[in-house]
A and B are shown apart, each in its own frame.
Chain A
Amino acid sequence: MATLARLQARSTFLAHQYYFRNSAVDVFRKKEYDAAVKIQSWFRGCRIRAYLRYLHRVATVIQKCWRGYLGRQHYQLIVKLEFCTMKMNLYNAMAVRIQKRWRGYRIRKYCFNYFYLKEYLKAVSETNDAIREALEEFAEMKEREEKKADLEREEKKRDYQARKMHYLLSTKQIPGIYNSPFRKDPDPWELRLQKAKPLISQRPKVKQKRGVNISNRLACTSARSLPQSEILPPIDRKQCQGPFRDITEVLEQRYKPLEPTLWMAEPINELKMAREELRKQEWMRNINDNMFLPFSSYHKNKKYIPLMHSSSKYGPNSYGSQHFRDENPKKWICDKKFKFHEDRNVCLTYSLLYPHCLEQHLAKERKKERKKERKRKEKRKKERRKRFPNCITII
């Protein structure tokens, strides 16, 4: 039992010793364990890292090759694109050049042609100048005409005045107002007065008939009808030589009025004139000036123009029956054709209604007559031949 007690007393110590020895080992165990783990993990790590390095290297190689490939493809694409772009740029540039030229040309030629505008404006200003000149000329001409008209009017006025004042003209004895002896030259009015005709107060103009009618001659039967001469004979002329008759006697003789015979007193065409007179009076009284015509259509002398359709080269066509009547031979009473009445008057009226029928009818008649004539001649010839077989007949 002592041992037991001793053991039991020692048990806790044992326990503690057990525990401490276990735990001391544990301490180291842990340390050693941790060391071992570290070493192992380090080694493993190295191994794996080496492996990973290897893998990386390999992957890099692959990726390198692949990226090179992709890059080269990309590069080719870029080169292509660049090339295309360059070409397009070139084309664009050239197109721009063309369009530039064309647009400039178009605008300058068709839309706004500067030179044409300049020309136009020049032409306008030239026309303006021409018009201005022309208008100036016109205005000047008008002015000149006006001035001329004014001058003429003035001249006429002065002339008229000079004619009215004609009595102020200077004579040989007495110098006139405008011709003062103290002047060197006579006043222009003097010259004007000299040139002017004296103004005569106007007598009412009597219309004188040209060609003295015999009837007028008869009117001036009075002894006082002497001719009126405008110019008086000059006062101091030389005496004519020789014994002369008394001037009144001479004038009486010279201007004796006509005493015609009865034959001359009446005009030779008196009858004609009387008829004319009568006709004039009748004409005055007539209501209607047209002559009385026998028939209402007498004045209608227009030639009948037949239709072209119904006329041919040789005259109007027959319609089948000339007189628009049906010919029905069965109904005829006798075989002969209907004859016109021999009566002349009826023939005439009929001919007036159908003028072309008249011509035909007359032609027919003439034919018949000629035939008859010929027959008669033949007959006579035959008779003569019978009677005088050997003679030559002279007709």
Chain B
Amino acid sequence: MADEYGRKWDRCLADTAVKTATGLGVGIVLSVLLFKRRMWPVSFGSGLGLGMGYSNCQHDFRSPYLIHGHTVKVNA
């Protein structure tokens, strides 16, 4: 059970990082393409990503008995 805790944290941080980065990237792209190199899409995108990651993390911690499934590909 204690290990699960550590694993959860790992998952959570990784997920948040990924989302933030993605949001940042999308924000940069949009800012460059559509919004005349303004700042707000970037901060918006990164904030969006961070928020999503945070929410996911919280949800994960709140539902401790939810088992995460893993897809295992079997080489046919």
A binds B: no
Residues of A at the B interface (CB closer than 8 Å) are: none
